[in-house]
Structure 1
């Protein structure tokens, strides 16, 4: 559905009164979203998209100014879309959530304003927004290139109709969106849903250690031998509930380099 809408949409930047960027919201019915363009964009080249769902009691105005989110997209040449949740939150628990249709509408409206690269539509979120990103990817997986999820999941017994390239990061000491430890202390349980949906039956490769700073260090597990052909990646750290420095930037770097399975050698500790 999204692919068809994007194909038919007029891929031209908005002008005049329709122009909205940064903290100026793009109206969409009774709701709105925010846009941040990448640095140095020529106004013509089709843009990869990261649609990021904000955390609880936040709004898109924060996302388009957030160094770890918009800072990453600006430098990577990615168009950032930041929907505004109704009541500053998301209805991610319901498989029939109105926010699924809203997310689709945001993508379709953005495609009327910008030339969108339909093969590079990434969906992200943090905390409640991460759970919403899971919900959106679960409902619209056929039109989502990759899920970048930070510190928030759905129940692992949810049913999702289409596989997705998944990248999830979670802190073992998270007590806000508690780390979803599996039976017997299984630390790989946070992505059990996507391993099942993608048909990843084997053991993962890992852990591979990598770090952005001394405090932002991760252990990566990768399931690449999946029936769907779409891998699942899980990055774990020992800290709590936050957006890790450099994590989104690293995922975009890998995705834009044709989805390499592992990290550049310079990042492997």
Structure 2
């Protein structure tokens, strides 16, 4: 999805958005909030398709290193290479986001391929097990987690599903604090009308971490794109 007023030449900032389970990239382009907060504000939106599950028409993001089938981290990097060959991109303003299983995929990219992107936002997802022992291998990350207090589909603790586990959100946050070398308790706590946020940004070395909770369940809460855009743009280095 291109900005309507793009001149066809200026390098574009871009947001890669991973759809939820049993959805598709096409559904992302129908999201009015993404259009209003990003495409209408000069961003390119890139929406890859999850791979089809064997024997079904369901698109999914397994988001686990041990999962067989397509390597979705490598796939996403190939997507970015393909887009960069077609469209001029602002390499310093490439971001990743996703919802639910797509939010877990955003965590995967943050943990295993952060060097290609300037910031990450996961909505209602977590880093699925197995997780790295001590720190994410790709180094410091700017990551914002948005989650519903009443989310029963992807609860804070995660859920065991057959032979795998969604992952524990607090385990994921702890791993990212270790990766970013943040202190354990947040530097700032913000209580707003919709979101209550815990921010570790000041104490982290080279990265930043923030978690914002809302009262709702498993969904994209109103205002999440504004929160995400603010998170992305605060991480932009000032012009020299």
Q: Within 5 Å, give how 1:176-195 maps onto structure 2.
A: 176-180=153-157, 191-195=173-177
The residue that corresponds to 2:15 in the other structure is 50
Gap change, CA 1:224 and 1:156, over 3 Å in 2: farther
2:103 is equivalent to residue 130 of structure 1: yes
Query: Match for residue 51 of structure 2?
Result: 86
Question: What does the per-residue CA deviation read over 1:179-237, in whole Å, with 9 as the maximum and x for residues that have no partner?
Answer: 238xxxx99655222111111124213321234xxxxx000111023443211011011
Count of equivalent residues: 216
Runs of 4+ in 1 over 3 A off after TM superposition: 186-190, 257-260
Spell out, residue by residue over 1:159-185, the C-alpha distance to the aligned partner (whole angstroms, 9 max, x if none): 21112101110111101111238xxxx
> In structure 2, the residue corresponding to 1:68 is in which secondary structure?
helix
Q: What is the CA–CA distance in structure 1 between the aligned matches of 2:5 and 2:88, rounded to whole Å?
A: 15
Q: Deviations over 1:74-93 (max 9, x none)?
A: 12211100001112111212
Unaligned runs of 5+ in 2: 53-58, 159-167
Q: How far 1:68 sits from its partner (Å)?
A: 2.3
- What residue ranges of structure 1 are gaps of 5+ in the alignment? 1-35, 212-216, 261-269
RMSD: 2.3
Question: Residues 138-175 of structure 1, C-alpha deviation per residue, up to 9 Å, x if partnerless?
Answer: 11012221111000101477221112101110111101
CA contact (8 A) 1:68 1:243 kept: no
